[in-house]
Amino acid sequence: MTETTETTATKLETATFGAGCFWGVEETFRGVPGVVATAVGYAGGTLDNPTYRDVCTDRTGHAEVVQVQYDPAKVTYETLLEVFWNNHNPTTLNRQGPDVGTQYRSVIFYSTPEQETAAQASKAALERSGRFKRPIVTEIVPASTFYQAEEYHQQYLAKRGLSHCHI
């Protein structure tokens, strides 16, 4: 007699965050248990199928973003929001460290009403906490078309042995 086990297909969910240069942001999210895949790319702009060169002109309106596929049974969206807030400066408009331009803005692209509610609540809680002396400038906007960046940008830091780099 053989034993059978029921398997339940887990429905993965997607979250999209912009928090400066996407290389470090991707590496940070790749290390979160429950994250099953990441991809870097561009969102929030006006040009279809932008290239890195296009986005770097600061004229397309796109942000460098990381699209995170995750298993909600293993990691919550709220946990991903904590990772987002804890790994960049949400008070600097259109810049992170030495990177300046709208492509480096702090932004959360939500895909569902639940994500919007959670993102707004987490931002409000962070503002109330007094952790930052300056106002939080992070945009919380509906998800737009995600354009995957060129292959050489995918897992850029990991490919170079820099997997412990922080954003």
Catalytic residues: 21
Distance CA 46, CA 11 (A): 31
Assess contact for 61 and 24: CB atoms under 8 A. Answer: no
CA-based nearest residue to 22, from 49, 45, 50, 43: 43
Nearest-10 crossing angle of helices 113-129, 77-86: 40
Q: Encode 84-110: b = buried (16+ Cβ within 10 Å), e = exposed.
A: bbebbbbebeebbeeeeebbbbbbbbb
Q: What is the phi-psi region of residue 26: left when phi exceeds 0, alpha when psi lies from -120 to 50, beta otherwise?
A: alpha
- Burial category of 62 from C-beta neighbours within 10 Å (exposed 0-12, middle 13-18, buried 19 and up): buried
